Structure 1
Amino acid sequence: MTYHPKSDFIAVMMERGFLADCTDYQGLDEALLQGCQPAYIGFDATAESLHVGSLIQIMMLRWLQKTGHKPITLMGGGTTKVGDPSFRADERPLLGPEQIDANIAGIRKVFAAYIDYDSDAGNAARMLNNAEWLDDLNYLDFLRDIGRHFSVNRMLSFESVKSRLDREQSLSFLEFNYMILQAYDFLELNRRYGCILQMGGSDQWGNIVNGIDLTRRVLDHEIYGLTSPLLTTSDGKKMGKSQSGAVWLNGDMLSPYEFWQFWRNTTDADVGRFLKLYTELPVEECNRLGALEGSEVNAAKVILANEVTALLHGREAAAAAEATARGVFVDAKTARLNIKTYPAQVSALPTLTLTEEEVSAGISVVQLFVRSGLAKSGKEAKRLIAENGARMDDAPLTDAGLMIDAGALTSPIKLSAGKKRHALVQLG
């Protein structure tokens, strides 16, 4: 990672579109200019990977470190046992300690791609787990020492709670305590590690303000909060979702090729904004690329996909994904996948591996489309074939009754649904 310690973190946040609100712009700016400062974002361990919806916060931590400060990635080993009610219609399912630990292990892989935990520049990142101080809290002591600083009237006024109550949807006492625990996290991080800043999405504003108020009351320390906008795409869709589900950041849950394709399919109106948020290209270049129109904007989308994929999975994976999308890994003479000549490109595709037992009596091509994730049902796969949207090894597939046996799988088969979605089928 290249460091720019003379850069202004607040200026970067504003210039690139990360900043929604801040509790004290001037005070925070002056504190950051005094030298290396710790700041944190919390991530609850509700799944084995974060998805694209969390990437804006991860990039904020990356820029924090690049401008000379110390990021803290706080894993919610404790708070995940409660569940954040912010802007949810129902209570999160409760997870056990083993599942939470497994989820944290999966999420840890993502952070390592963006943040340097071994920096010798004096600002190495820390990964902490709030179970360290939450698991052993004495309930009565906590109520007496911490709970007395919270006003229920004020907590009910926060939008994340108010919106739930306005819709007459149940809010459990367990969930109601979440904001107190998150506030206590900020207090403990300030007390233990000198952390002066909590960042998060704008839906976390109330929780962040609670932590600032609690720390001032208990420790009389000046600390700050900064939020990013909650992003939706220009067509109103929630960031982090695709037609096939969540866009996971862990490569074993979503292949680099599928991740690349998600960014390549960005709508024209979002290209410039996403380049500034999710890449490190200069702002002037992001604006130039974002202003392209017509067929030229497709080149900007490829740059966006390459840059974002390279940050997470590496340059080689990004290049392989682009080559896969362009189809250059297909042998010109045989029209079959050349796994020896283009191993990286071939491996970039989502892959369905079959056993010899599964194909001993043949397996229908319709079933392969379903099992590879290119169709949600056999009915959808048959419709895709009937409408000439299905291809096998880049040749039109017209027979929905086609059976595939082991002899057809002496080399991998590429299935395609439309021009942009592909999968590999091979014999294990």
Structure 2
Amino acid sequence: MSAPRYEVSGVENVFDVLNERGFVAQASDVEALRERLGRPTSCYIGFDPTADSLHIGSMVPIMALAHMQRCGHRPLVLVGGGTGLVGDPSGKTEMRRMLTAEQIRGNVDALKAQLSRFLEFGDGKALMLNNADWLLDLRYIEFLRDIGRHFSVNRMLAAESYKMRLETGLNFIEFNYMLLQAYDFYHLAEEYDCVLQMGGNDQWGNIVAGIELIRRKSGREAHAITFPLLTTASGAKMGKTAAGAVWLSASRTSPFDYYQYWINTDDRDVVRFLKLYTFLPLLEIAAVEGLQGQELNAAKTVLAYEATLLTHGRENALAACEAASGVFGRRRLAPDLLPSSGIPRDVRDETQAVPTTDVERHRLEEGIPAFELFAETGLCESRSAARRLIQQGGAYVNDMRLREFDLRIGVSHLRHDGILLKAGKKKIHRVRAMN
């Protein structure tokens, strides 16, 4: 599955594309970088293999690599199978759980498949690399002699990536991370002619350390771009909800729930997210500025469709869009609203993509207390949480507000498409009878 292709006008410099869309927080020597990006360039971003899926917080670097490729450059996707055994202290208040080599190998395989959805691999268009291939064979004394001597401990301790951990305790394993990441950059520069590393703004110190190592070891010029650390307009961390992280894996976060995350975007974030998380032209996105009410909600529908399309493909994006239309009502999409989007303008009313639990019919004939069913379907994390939700008036059965936490939900509530349960206005689950 590959990303949909919208034309990039003219021969735009990719730095300008990234900057105009809000990807750039810091960059090293902008004029020299723009000049370098005027010709085909290899760039890289590292991804952490501590889970078998990435989440929405990884979408900014993924989209940045996709823009690089679309503008004629070669992305190197570096999966940290080696550094994952050590752990990056950036942005951490405590040491993270150590994984075994076998666990990391399994996660690396899963991430390779996932990242292939967004980038074209093969024929040298993009490369997937694992730093375990060169880091695990390093000889410690030789590494200290050839690489470690170029690093000042005083400068390392002054880096933002270490300051927070110094307060709670930075161990020697984590302290080595900057050297290893810098060595990655140096290795990629030597072996793959990679002269640009990109990453989150908390990675600035690590990336600059790599630039300096390349200069000292080979005399070459290298560059850095860092992305802003994104939060929503309400101050929440990007990709975090009350139920936890929003994952790119359909087995962790269903396409419908993924779609709903974007539908529920704060009004203040719509334009910013359209720039960052879709490939829709900036001129079309600019027309969304100033929209309010139903018109802005329609723009959120396009955002949700495009974001789900990239991550889960057209079939799942359509199913999620149709299901949301069936459950929450149809939103009119004007033909001139973000016209480059392939979203259908006449969305059908379907509910097939709504998360569903099949319950044995005899249980529904007896009736299941509402608080038990809300916990069983995962709409609430526990029975006590379900009781509180119902007592506070936030639970619904087929759009009817529940008044009693122990009301028995059963066959009398069945409709042709099952029983629709809602927790608040945004979380929904369907229960079907199973013979």
**Under a length normalisation based on structure 1, what TM-score does the superposition of the two structures give?**
0.88
Q: CA deviation at 1:278?
A: 0.6
Distance, in Å, in 1 between the alignment partners of 2:219 and 2:366 is: 74
AA at the equivalent of 1:75: V
Q: State the 1:399 CA deviation.
A: 4.5
Q: In structure 1, how many angstroms separate the alpha carbons of the residues matched to 2:289 and 2:200?
A: 24
Q: Residues 44-78 of structure 1: CA distance to partner in whole angstroms, max 9, x if unpaired?
A: 11111111111111000000000011111100101
Kindly indicate whether residue 112 of structure 2 is the aligned counterpart of residue 108 of structure 1: yes
Aligned residues of 1:329 and 1:346 also touching (Cα < 8 A)? no
Q: Is the 8 A contact 2:87 2:96 kept in 1?
A: yes
- Point out the more displaced range, 411-420 or 219-228: 411-420
Q: Name which of structure 1's ranges 391-400 and 41-50 shifts more when overlaid on structure 2.
A: 391-400
- 1:327 alignment partner AA: G
1:82 is aligned with what amino acid?
A: V
What corresponds to 1:162 in structure 2?
163
Name the counterpart of 1:372.
377
Q: Name 1:198's counterpart in structure 2.
A: 197
After TM superposition, give the deviation of residue 193 of structure 1 in Å.
Answer: 1.1
After superposition, the Cα gap between the structure-2 partners of 1:100 and 1:13, relative to the gap in structure 1 and judged at 3 Å, is same
3-state DSSP of counterpart to 2:128 = strand
Q: Which moved more, 1:147-156 or 1:215-224?
A: 215-224
* Partners of 1:359 and 1:351 in 2: CA distance: 15
Counterpart contact for 2:322–2:349, Cα < 8 Å:
no
CA distance in 1, matches of 2:32, 2:91: 29
Q: Which residue of 2 aligns with 1:117?
A: 121
The aligned counterpart of 2:79 is 75
Identity %, equivalent residues: 48
Q: Which amino acid aligns with 2:16?
A: A
**Alignment partner, residue 180 of structure 1:** 179
Residue in 1 that maps onto 2:265: 266
**Matches of 2:364 and 2:430, distance apart in 1:** 15
Contact 1:79 / 1:130 at 8 angstroms: preserved in 2? yes
**Greater mean alpha carbon deviation, residues 174-183 or residues 105-114:** 105-114
1:201-252, Cα deviation, whole Å (9 max, x unpaired): 1110000001111111112222111111111111211112012110111111
How do residues 291-370 of structure 1 correspond to structure 2 at under 5 angstroms? Answer: 291-327=290-326, 345-354=350-359, 363-370=368-375
Q: Which whole-Å CA distance do the structure 1 matches of 2:349 and 2:326 have between them?
A: 13
- Residues 360 and 132 from structure 1, CA distance in 2 versus in 1: closer, same or farther, beyond 3 angstroms? farther
Number of corresponding residues: 411
| Alpha-carbon distance between aligned partners in 2 of 1:136 and 1:357, rounded to the nearest angstrom | 61
**Cα pair 2:23 2:227 within 8 Å, conserved:** yes
Is the CA contact 1:325–1:420 (under 8 Å) kept in the aligned structure 2? no
Q: 1:361 to 1:106 in 2, by over 3 A?
A: farther
Question: 1:385 offset after TM fit, Å?
Answer: 2.9
Q: Offset of 1:182 from its aligned partner? A: 0.4
Q: What residue is the counterpart of 1:232 in the other structure?
A: 231
Query: For the structure 1 residues 271 and 357, does the alpha-carbon distance in structure 2 shift closer, same or farther, using more than 3 Å as the test?
Result: same
Indicate conservation of the 8 Å contact 2:326/2:348, yes or no: no
One of 404, 408, 413 as aligned partner of 2:419: 413
Q: CA deviation at 1:297?
A: 1.6
Question: Are residues 1:22 and 2:27 paired?
Answer: yes
CA distance in 2, matches of 1:218, 1:226: 21
State the SS of the aligned residue for 2:293: coil
Answer whether contact 2:322 2:348 (CA < 8 A) is retained: no
Shift of 1:361: 7.5
Supply the distance in 2 between the matched residues of 1:113 and 1:280 (Cα, whole angstroms): 15
Between the aligned partners of 1:345 and 1:317, the Cα distance in structure 2 is 13
Determine whether 1:279 maps to 2:278: yes
CA 161–408 in structure 1, closer or farther in 2 if over 3 Å, else same: same
- CA offset at residue 388 of structure 1? 4.1
Other structure's SS at 2:251 match: coil
Note if contact 1:200-1:226 (Cα within 8 Å) is conserved in structure 2: yes
Q: How does 1:51-90 map to 2 (within 5 A)?
A: 51-90=55-94
Name the stretch that deviates more: 371-380 or 145-154. Answer: 371-380
Which residues of structure 1 form unaligned runs of 5+?
Answer: 331-341
Are 2:133 and 1:137 equivalent residues in the alignment?
no
Give the stretch that moved more between structures: 83-92 or 315-324. 315-324
Task: Label 1:345 to 1:100 Cα distance change in 2 as closer, same or farther (>3 A).
Answer: farther
Matches within 5 A, 1:233-252: 233-252=232-251
CA displacement, residues 88-109 of structure 1 (integer Å, 9 cap, x when unaligned): 1111110111211222222223
